[in-house]
Amino acid sequence: MASVREVQVTFDCAEPERVARFWCEVLGYVVPPPPPGFESWADFDASLPAEHQGSAFACVDPTGAGPRLFFQRVPEGKVAKNRVHLDVRVGTGLVGDERLAALEAEQERLTGLGATHVRTMLADGFDESCIVMQDIEGNEFCLD
């Protein structure tokens, strides 16, 4: 049985580059270099047939540790809760008020980038606090 060597997380969205650049800011990811023979992604995009222009974008972890994120344009909008979501681990190792303060500080930063606060789930003796948010196109993610 073969083992998985790499994972890519794919987002369906209306505006791939806009959503990709949002996640670059959230995670500290970067836009990879354009394909060989192109000076920029805009040049590459302009070389595509009109119906494919702006249809995809990607970002990568500059350390190589995290998965590549791929964003693809789809015609339909988001209509239901995500079945899979990202947990942005900003409170790892923190508990109680210290954890909540770190989560709230990140919530404020991401709200400034266009994210939406959905709800704060406070520690309950079993789980630590986390904050549910949505990215700029309504995809849920958690600050954990």
pLDDT digit string, tens, across residues 75-105:
888 888 787 889 999 999 999 999 999 999 9
Asked whether 28 and 87 are in contact (CB, 8 A), the reply is: no
| pLDDT score of 2 | 65
| pLDDT score of 64 | 93
Of 74, 57, 68, nearest in space to 18 by CA = 57
| pLDDT score of 81 | 79
Q: Which residues contact 60 (CB under 8 A, 6 or more apart)?
A: 29, 30, 31, 32, 66, 68, 69
* Segments of the chain scoring below 70 in pLDDT: 1-4
Cα–Cα distance for residue pair 67/88, rounded to 1 Å: 13
Asked whether 91 and 101 are in contact (CB, 8 A), the reply is: no
| pLDDT score of 1 | 66
Of 40, 41, 33, 35, nearest in space to 16 by CA = 41
